[in-house]
Structure 1
Amino acid sequence: MILVRYEYEIIQKIVESTVKSPPRYDVFLSFCGEDTRYSFTGFLYHALRREGFKIFMDDEGLEGGNQISQTLLKAIEKSRLSIVVLSENYGYSTWCLDELVKIMECKKNNNQLVWPIFYKIEQSDVSNQTKSYCKAMKAHEDRFGKESESVQKWRSALSEVALVKGDHYQRK
Structure 2
Amino acid sequence: MKTIKKTVKIRLLTPADCPALLDFETRNRGWFEQHVAPRGEAFYTRAGVEQHIAELLAAHAQGRWFPALLLDEAGVIVGRSNLKDVDSLAGVAELGYRVGQDQAGAGVATAAVVQMKALALQELGLRRLIAVVSPANPASARVMEKCGFVRLDPAASEALRGKDPELLAYQCDLNLD
TM bucket (normalised to shorter chain) is 0.3 to 0.5
More strand per residue: 2
> What's the TM-score, normalizing by structure 1?
0.33
> What's the TM-score, normalizing by structure 2?
0.32
Q: Give the greater-gyration-radius structure (CA).
A: 1
More helix per residue: 1
